[in-house]
Structures are given as structure tokens and as C-alpha cells.
């Protein structure tokens, strides 16, 4: 067993997308190899409808997958293939854009006006970039959950974990997507296959992640939330932790517990030509996608 080193911790940065949705971006539009096969991660959490109600009107995607996980409120969606629906609290949509799709996502607050969810973009390998688009819409009730003797609770969106397997399947990057709650004061180690690239995203409470680059893999100097532990300073809510190679991640929850996403996948290791929501392998392919958008051939007819 080998503990994964903590390569970097950084706070998600406020930004604006769509028609004026205020959100926080943990990574995206920088070095695509950094967390390959993942390209972008957004945390869209707001208390005021004016900050998100204009939503994400019609826009294109090609060559990637978008993974939307809703915690509070709802997201109504529709696309150019005639699909439509609504994601509620705890639901997931895994959309494979493939050869091309136009869609829109319109968020709505819950009874208290709150909206919270995440969107992750996953890259597709060259052989799958022009496949037919498909959806995997998963309701909260269909996502397996497991709780161990220490009270650690895990929702398994995709991948195998603690004897259960998430409902999303057939994904090229062989991802594992976990929503983990660690109770106050509990220290827990999670296994991650060595071949995967991995990151954690803290969104509730406080905790410290062990660092293999420190002597004996001690915990970081200040836990997420500010209490001193040992090696390095981390902030709490909306914090990205990027891990190096290994097969274990160890975390110590603070006095109010800790909730975070633990996401990993097999790197694709291919060139990336990227323009917004369109991700291809070469500039020529990217330019062809732009021409397809302009001349109305972006959406491939169903066979």
C-alpha cells in the first residue's frame, strides 16, 4: 500500500457562466493533462435566485461527457434530440455528448431559494469523440449508499466501492465518483487504484488529508477549516486537493465532520484541442466542429 502525495491544494475561484450564473470553478481551461481524463469542475451553489435563475441557455458540446450532480434545488434540461427532464436533489445526469449535441440547463432553487450542484467534464478518447450522444439519468433512489462501523457514509455514483457498484456504466475513463461524509474526529483511509488520477473536493465541514511527501505521511499542517495538525495550510469549503500516484488517500475529519467528493479516472493521454464546450484532439478537428456549428451540420442525424 502506498499513500498518495498531496500535489496541490487550491480554493475554487468565483466565475460566471451561462447567462450570468455565479459559480466557483475548481479547475478548467488550464492544463488539460493536470487531471486527465477530467477537464473542468464547477460548484454551482447559491442562496439567491438572481445569481442563477438565468441558467445555461442553448449551447453545444462535442467530444466530452458532462456529469451533473444536484444536491439542492432542481435543474430542468432539454436538448436538440428532443430529450427533456428535470434533475432533483440527489439525482445525477451523465451525458455523453459524443459527435455533438445542443442542450440547455435551467436551475431552480428549492423552497428556500437555494441551489447547489456540481458539474464535471470528462474527456473522451479519440475513438469515441464522434459516437452517438447518450444520456444516463439516475435518480437519487438508484444511487447505492453504504455506511461503515465508524459512521463513514458513501454515495457511489460510478465505480465499485466497499462491495457496491454505482449505476452509471460504460464510461471510457473507467471513473470512480464518490460522495463521502466522514463524522467528526474520524480518520479513514480510502483505496484508489494506482493507475487512476485522483482529486478530492471539499464542500462541507473540515478535515485534513495525509501527505505521503511528508515524513511518515503525516497530516497537513492545518486541517481544512484552520485547526493546526502538521505540515501545510489548507482552506476549508470549496477546496480542491490534487493527489499524486499511489493507492490510498487518508483523511482526518475535524470537529464538525467533513463531506467531500473523491473522483478518479484512467488518464487518456491524448492531445487536446479545446474551445469552450468542444474538445477534440487536433486543431483541424476543432475547426471542423466550428464549421459544423456555422453551417448547421453539428448535430448528426439519428440512424
Task: Please write the tens of the pLDDT for every residue from 179-198.
Answer: 999 999 999 999 999 999 99
Nearest 5°: phi and psi at 84? Answer: -155, 165
- For residue 180, what pLDDT is reported? 98
Q: Is the pLDDT of residue 231 over 70?
A: no
Q: Is the pLDDT of residue 221 over 50?
A: no
Q: Is the pLDDT of residue 276 over 80?
A: yes
- For residue 127, what pLDDT is reported? 93
Structural domains of the chain sorted by starting position, each given as residue range(s) with its CATH number in brackets: 6-265 (2.60.120.10)
pLDDT, averaged across the chain: 89
**How many residues in total does the chain contain?**
303
Around 134, how many Cα atoms within 13 Å sit in the side-chain half-sphere? 10
Q: Is the pLDDT of residue 261 over 90?
A: yes
Q: What is the mean pLDDT of residues 105-130?
A: 94
> What is the percent of the chain where pLDDT is above 70?
91
With cut-offs at 50, 70 and 90, classify the pLDDT of residue 219: low
Among 5-9, 10-14, 169-173, 250-254, whose mean pLDDT is lowest? 169-173
Measured between alpha carbons, how far is 155 from 179 in angstroms, rounded to an integer? 5
Measured between alpha carbons, how far is 235 from 208 in angstroms, rounded to an integer? 10
Q: What is the mean pLDDT of residues 77-100?
A: 91
Q: Provide CB contacts within 8 A for 222, sequence distance 6+.
A: 208, 228, 229, 232, 233, 234
Among 168-177, 269-278, 284-293, whose mean pLDDT is lowest? 168-177
With cut-offs at 50, 70 and 90, classify the pLDDT of residue 99: very high
Task: Please write the tens of the pLDDT for every residue from 278-302.
Answer: 999 999 999 999 999 999 899 876 5
Cβ proximity of 61 and 277 under 8 Å: yes
Burial 94-119 (b: 16+ CB within 10 A, else e): bbbbbbbbbbbbbbbbeeebbbbbbb
Higher pLDDT: 221 or 132? It is: 132
Higher pLDDT: 284 or 227? It is: 284
- For residue 234, what pLDDT is reported? 38
Closest to 26 measured CA to CA, from 243, 209, 250, 200: 200
Q: What is the mean pLDDT of residues 207-212?
A: 86
- For residue 232, what pLDDT is reported? 39
Task: Check whether the bond before 12 is cis (ω within 30° of 0).
Answer: no
Q: What is the mean pLDDT of residues 114-120?
A: 95
Measured between alpha carbons, how far is 241 from 1 in angstroms, rounded to an integer? 20
Radius of gyration of the chain (CA): 19
Grid cell for residue 120: 464535471
Measured between alpha carbons, how far is 278 from 43 in angstroms, rounded to an integer? 20
Q: What is the pTM of this model?
A: 0.91
Around 28, how many Cα atoms within 13 Å sit in the side-chain half-sphere? 24
With cut-offs at 50, 70 and 90, classify the pLDDT of residue 84: confident
- For strands 84-87 and 74-79, give the pairing: antiparallel
Q: Is the pLDDT of residue 29 over 90?
A: no
> What is the percent of the chain where pLDDT is above 90?
76
Q: What is the mean pLDDT of residues 4-10?
A: 92
Amino acid at each position: 500500500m502506498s499513500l498518495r502525495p498531496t500535489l496541490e491544494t487550491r480554493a475554487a475561484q468565483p466565475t460566471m457562466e451561462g447567462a450570468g450564473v455565479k459559480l466557483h470553478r475548481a479547475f478548467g481551461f488550464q492544463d488539460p493533462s493536470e487531471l486527465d481524463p477530467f477537464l473542468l469542475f464547477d460548484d454551482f451553489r447559491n442562496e439567491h435566485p438572481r445569481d442563477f435563475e438565468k441558467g445555461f441557455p442553448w449551447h453545444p458540446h462535442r467530444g466530452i461527457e458532462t456529469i451533473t450532480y444536484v444536491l439542492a434545488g432542481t435543474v430542468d434540461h432539454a436538448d436538440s434530440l428532443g430529450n427533456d427532464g428535470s434533475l432533483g436533489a440527489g439525482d445525477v445526469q451523465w451525458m455523453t455528448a459524443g459527435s455533438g449535441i445542443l442542450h440547455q440547463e435551467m436551475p431552480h432553487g428549492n423552497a428556500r431559494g437555494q441551489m447547489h450542484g456540481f458539474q464535471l467534464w470528462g474527456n473522451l478518447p479519440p475513438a469515441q469523440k464522434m459516437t452517438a450522444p447518450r444520456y444516463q439519468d439516475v435518480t437519487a433512489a438508484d444511487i447505492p449508499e453504504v455506511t461503515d462501523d465508524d459512521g463513514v457514509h458513501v454515495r457511489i455514483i460510478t465505480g465499485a466501492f466497499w462491495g457496491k457498484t454505482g449505476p452509471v456504466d460504460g464510461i471510457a475513463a473507467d471513473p470512480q465518483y464518490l460522495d463521502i461524509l466522514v463524522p467528526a474526529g474520524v480518520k479513514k483511509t480510502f483505496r484508489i487504484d494506482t493507475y487512476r488520477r485522483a482529486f478530492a473536493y471539499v464542500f462541507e465541514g473540515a478535515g485534513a488529508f495525509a501527505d505521503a511527501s511528508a515524513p511518515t505521511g503525516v497530516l497537513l499542517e492545518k486541517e481544512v477549516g484552520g485547526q493546526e495538525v502538521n505540515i501545510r495550510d489548507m482552506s476549508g469549503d470549496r477546496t480542491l486537493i490534487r493527489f499524486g500516484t499511489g493507492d490510498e488517500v487518508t483523511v482526518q475529519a475535524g470537529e464538525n465532520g467533513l463531506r467531500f467528493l473523491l473522483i478518479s479516472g484512467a488518464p487518456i493521454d491524448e492531445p487536446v484541442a479545446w474551445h469552450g464546450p468542444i474538445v477534440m484532439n487536433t486543431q483541424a478537428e476543432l475547426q471542423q466542429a466550428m464549421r459544423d456549428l456555422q453551417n448547421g451540420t453539428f448535430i448528426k442525424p439519428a440512424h
